[in-house]
Structure 1
Amino acid sequence: MVRRIRKAVFPVAGLGTRFLPATKAIPKEMLPVVDRPVIQHVVNEAREAGIEHFVFVTGRNKQMIEDHFDKAFELDATLEARGKTAALDELKRDLPAAGATSFTRQQEPLGLGHAVWCARDIVGDEPFALLLPDMLHLARRGGKGCIAAMLEAYEATGGNYVAGYEVPDDETHQYGIIGKGKPVAGGAYEIARMVEKPPKGTAPSNVAISGRYILQPDIFKILETQERGAGGEIQLTDGMLKLQQQQPFFGFTFDGEIHDTGTKLGFLTANVAYALRRDDLGGPLKAELARLSAG
């Protein structure tokens, strides 16, 4: 029987050096995409998929993230007193239920694999979703979010899942890359190979890992003794390669847009893409973009 996914892990310990000085005092995950922090968009994706418990792996100076997912009594009272019910309702909609969030520290910047391992005691012995906050997955209008669609495929096969998307061939050395195998149920496919940041010209495909995973808890034991890999860090991909020797791994292609908010261009593009989807902003923004382009 396929075990249900109840928990999701969000690694949010990174320093965000590419966005300095903006991230000197503000976590990069709290930078806004339209009117919500990046991390809120990712948590909403998980909530819409039915995830019940949200595990944040934080670092120093990330207290703002914990405060964001807490109730702000003074703000709520002020909004209510001023009759700003629409804003108050939005805050309530975005707030996870009491006891549905957990926070743990990654005390050293030892890589994504280490960050995932830091969540081991909270996740326990059950499969979990892993969402990298830098990568925003914007579903097509009326479509399912990435994790929701992955969970649907997972329920048909079990095992482990990695979402991927195509990148230019000359950029494959910047990403974790997966090689496609034969197709399986739910629009997924077997993963033939996985490699972290392959040297130029050696990648098995141009399909990059997009920051969405479903993993079995056995990954924790592997990561506990995982040696440092690319960049001197404990790489999640290296751990998944070992787990692949014991369990099946499947790839999944998301039917939507993927925006890497860890880059300045990706962050700006995400703001435009999400704003264009809004009924209150889409039309006016198109007009402004046309005006700016003409100038």
Structure 2
Amino acid sequence: MESKRVKKAVIPAAGLGTRFLPATKAMPKEMLPIVDKPTIQYIIEEAVESGIEDILIVTGKGKRAIEDHFDSVPELEQILIEKGKSEFLKLVEETTNINIHFIRQSKPMGLGHAVLQAKAFVGDEPFVVMLGDDIVQAETPCTRQLINQYEITNSSIIGVQPVSDEETQRYGIVDLSSSVSETLHKVKSFVEKPVPGTAPSNLAILGRYLFTPEIFKYLETQEPGAGNEIQLTDAITRLNEMQRVFAYEFNGKRYDVGEKLGFIRTTLEFALKREDLGDDVHKLMIELLENRLSLIEK
């Protein structure tokens, strides 16, 4: 049977962003900018470049700024037209010419519960879940890579990459049963944040998933797990018992913008790559390092 085309994406964005307080007291963490672009916009752009046609963002209280960002602002657009600032007008219009929907997660009951809010939106179609804490730069967009694998396997695909042994306790880790190729693996089980030294592999789930709609059957009946929340990993484990789930080692560089040091590193790297900023940022970094060295020597 020919598989259905993957056209829909779900982006959970209801988290409180406590690691970035006080900045996230009034601003959604998804709107914190990498240089001059909100982190969530990088996720949206990846989805569009992957061929996704409809996007659902699952929000929560205090997240109205996300909706406003992807809405049109006629007053601003008119001012930019009048002042002949066509370059800025293009940047503004790029955020509005996308088919985006919103739904609110009324209670913070975990990632699995957030994805469950998309059931009516998804219907009986396969769909991708994209987490905003992970930005991936790749020649072929990460989500497109998962879609390509789905078109071969007609099964749910979890995006993974190797992490160091010290980092395995921070992620969901896959326990492999066998490998189809160097990058595509059948999964035996999933272990959420294993105790140091107990991880079954070093392949971590890194913010990109492609699911068949059957995942909702397990999310609806999933008992609360770690943190008394509905854990997506638990539902995937149950899905895997009835319908094979694959782990795919995607190509590309993944940036963790969900914690402070990763956010700073991403901002610096992206700024260095910019034609309009790269040289000046490079000089500034050298200046700051020299100043720091001189202070240490004193």
Same fold (TM over 0.5): yes
1:104–1:118: 8 Å Cα contact kept in structure 2? yes
Distance 1:170 1:210 in 2: 16
- The Cα shift of 1:60 comes to 0.4
Distance 2:62 2:9 in 1: 22
Of 200, 206, 215 in structure 1, the residue corresponding to residue 196 of structure 2 is 200
The runs of 5 or more residues in structure 1 that have no matched partner are none
Of 174, 190, 194 in structure 1, the residue corresponding to residue 170 of structure 2 is 174
1:128 aligns with 2:127: yes
Runs of 4+ in 1 over 6 A off after TM superposition: none
State the Cα RMSD in Å.
1.5
Deviation digits for residues 183-216 of structure 1, max 9, x if unmatched?
3369422223211112222211121110000001
The runs of 5 or more residues in structure 2 that have no matched partner are 292-298
Instruction: Report the AA paired with residue 27 of structure 1.
Output: P
In structure 1, the residue matched to 2:28 is: 27
1:275 aligns with 2:271: yes
In structure 1, the residue matched to 2:105 is: 106
User: CA 1:190–1:289 in 2, change beyond 3 Å: closer, same or farther?
Assistant: same
- The Cα shift of 1:280 comes to 1.8
Instruction: Report the AA paired with residue 138 of structure 1.
Output: Q
Distance 2:290 2:250 in 1: 34
Deviation digits for residues 235-278 of structure 1, max 9, x if unmatched?
00000001011212111222222111110001111111222222
Instruction: Report the AA paired with residue 167 of structure 2.
Output: E
Once the two structures are aligned, what percentage of the paired residues are identical? 46
Of 244, 266, 291 in structure 1, the residue corresponding to residue 287 of structure 2 is 291
What SS does structure 2 have at the residue aligned with 1:23? helix
1:214 aligns with 2:191: no
In structure 1, the residue matched to 2:294 is: none
In structure 2, the residue matched to 1:43 is: 44
Deviation digits for residues 15-48 of structure 1, max 9, x if unmatched?
1111111111100000001111000010000000
User: CA 1:203–1:134 in 2, change beyond 3 Å: closer, same or farther?
Assistant: same
Deviation digits for residues 149-176 of structure 1, max 9, x if unmatched?
2212221212011111222212322211
What SS does structure 1 have at the residue aligned with 2:255? strand
In structure 1, the residue matched to 2:63 is: 62
Distance 2:283 2:32 in 1: 25
1:156–1:186: 8 Å Cα contact kept in structure 2? no
- The Cα shift of 1:108 comes to 0.8
User: CA 1:181–1:272 in 2, change beyond 3 Å: closer, same or farther?
Assistant: farther
Instruction: Report the AA paired with residue 90 of structure 1.
Output: L
1:162–1:252: 8 Å Cα contact kept in structure 2? yes
Distance 2:182 2:85 in 1: 44
2:183–2:250: 8 Å Cα contact kept in structure 1? no
- The Cα shift of 1:79 comes to 0.6
1:197–1:230: 8 Å Cα contact kept in structure 2? no
- The Cα shift of 1:5 comes to 0.6
- The Cα shift of 1:292 comes to 1.7
Equivalences for residues 87-106 of structure 1 within 5 A: 87-97=88-98, 100-106=99-105
